[in-house]
Amino acid sequence: MIDDDDDDDDDDVQARDRDCGWSIQSASLDYVVHVTFVYVSIPTSRDCYSDYVQVYDGSSTLSNRLASVCGNEPGQEFYSYGRSLFIQFHSSTNNIPGGFHLSYESVLRSEAPPHAGGTEIVNVDLANEHFLKYPEGSSAYPNNANRGWVFYSTDPKYVVHIQFTQLDVELSATGCDFDYIEVFDRPNDEARSLGTFCGSRLLQFQSSLRSLYITFHSDTKGTRAGFRLTYQALGRWGEEPTADGSCSLYTPSLMAVSSADQFIQYPSSSLKDSRGGDCGWLLETDIADYVMHVNLSLVNIEAPSNSCVSDYIEVFDGSDDDAVSLGIVCGSRGHGFYSSGQSIYIRFHSNIGGSQLRLSYRAVANYKAPDEGSDVNIAGIAGGVLGGVALLAIVVATVVVVFIRQQCHLSTRNNPTNRRNNRTAV
């Protein structure tokens, strides 16, 4: 049990201007952390602004915040999505009676409620494209929202693809300071971030493995309509992209083969790594009577409301940008192009950065190519659905508690086996 009573003679007085933190972690990836506030006596303020206990779904205050607790309501429960919860206590008032006690345990992941940690698990089957809307039954999302969705492909051989079809999230003068969406390439916020965004720009994302995590946060004032996205499981692109994601107008030519698709992705990691500038890729085949087929499968480029002026992709029917242009692409829709000869040149231009593309290329027989460049729709992969029912059994495993700040007293009334700062309780 964690006890935030002070070490003074009066054990029920909380001190002024204190900040304390506890990181609670399960000892196994198969378990999540479950905490229950047994006793709470913290002065109530608007949005728990002055004195509070905050619960974060992760190992620090940089993680997704689940709640701010104040007042006198015991029994509040929280589950982590991953292996850890972080508890932060703050007091800014004069010495007054109060504090909190909470109990903690680890619970099998299969036992945790579906919305544990404010996070919803979304199984992505291989049959159809589905959609998710937030908020569901309201015209505007609430203040102080902290939600998360983990999209899991039901087949480990498939990845998750999501595309935002509607987006209305509060945008500040300096960016996404108030409300925002963040996308992670794995099932929690300790994974690599693919980008943080707000406003109305429609983007799409694809996981590198079988899971993708989306978080949504809103602050204390100002709301908007929220978002709608589609999701589906797609076949993996293969191993690593053929090109290394570097950016230059005159990179060495890349030779295509007819037996398999090859790939280019820029930037190679996430939207955060995209910078303004110009990039170019020359794609060729040395097979007689073959032409080039290029498929832009992932395009996150400034929306076409500006007529593709700032950021765009242009495709040329030849070996450089002096050749005939086959088309200019921006927005978030996939496109396909065929060359008339044995080479095709891709030019990517960005004024402001934050854009992303992924394309596949292959040499195809000339007679298989249409007479003119054509638009290609990206199709989903059909398959089956994985199901399963977890046994409901309460199993308490080892939980590790790390005491972060020494200003507050940590009472371990569960007879810890280790009395140093890194404590193990059973």
Q: What is the pLDDT of residues 98-136, one digit of tens each?
A: 789 999 999 887 777 766 656 787 888 876 788 999 988
Is the pLDDT confidence value at 334 over 80?
no
The pair of structure tokens assigned to 239 is: 């191993």
Number of CB atoms found within 10 A of residue 395's CB: 13
Q: What is the DSSP string of 160-175?
A: EEEEEEEEEB--BTTB
Which amino acid, one-letter code, is at 322? D
Reported as half-sphere exposure (CB side, CA atoms, 13 A), residue 107 has a value of 25
Q: Domains plus CATH for the chain? A: 18-108 (2.60.120.290), 118-235 (2.60.120.290), 254-368 (2.60.120.290)
Q: Which of 26-35, 162-171, 323-332, 370-379 shows the lowest per-residue confidence on average (mean pLDDT)? A: 370-379
Burial 59-97 (b: 16+ CB within 10 A, else e): beeebbbbbbbbeeeeebebbbbbbbbbbbbbbeeeebe
Asked whether the bond before 142 is cis by omega within 30 degrees of 0, the reply is no
Contact call for residues 205 and 212 (beta carbons, < 8 A): yes
pLDDT band at 238 (very low <50, low <70, confident <90, very high): very low
Mean pLDDT to the nearest integer, 76-87: 86
What is the average pLDDT score of the chain? 74
pLDDT at 225 over 90: yes
Using the predicted structure, report yes or no on whether residue 63 has a pLDDT greater than 70.
Answer: yes
Start-to-end CA distance of the chain, whole Å, equals: 11
Q: What is the pLDDT of residues 38-58, one digit of tens each?
A: 998 888 877 787 888 999 888
Tokens representing 138 are 């309201």
Helix (H, G, I), strand (E, B) or coil at 46: helix
Q: Which two tokens stand for residue 133?
A: 């809307």
How large is the average pLDDT for residues 317-331? 88
Asked whether 207 and 231 are in contact (CB, 8 A), the reply is: no
Instruction: Report the pLDDT value the prediction gives residue 134, as an integer from 0 to 100.
Output: 92
Identify the top-confidence range among 66-80, 111-125, 240-254, 278-292.
278-292
pLDDT bin (cut points 50, 70, 90) of residue 236 is low
Tell me which residue of 305, 301, 298, 297 sits closest to 313, measured CA to CA.
Answer: 301
pLDDT bin (cut points 50, 70, 90) of residue 423 is very low
- φ, ψ (nearest 5 deg) of residue 117: 70, 20
Q: What is the pLDDT of residue 237?
A: 47
- CA dist 290 and 320 (Å) reads 19
- Residue 292: pLDDT over 80: yes
| ∠ Cα 250 252 257 (to 5°) | 130
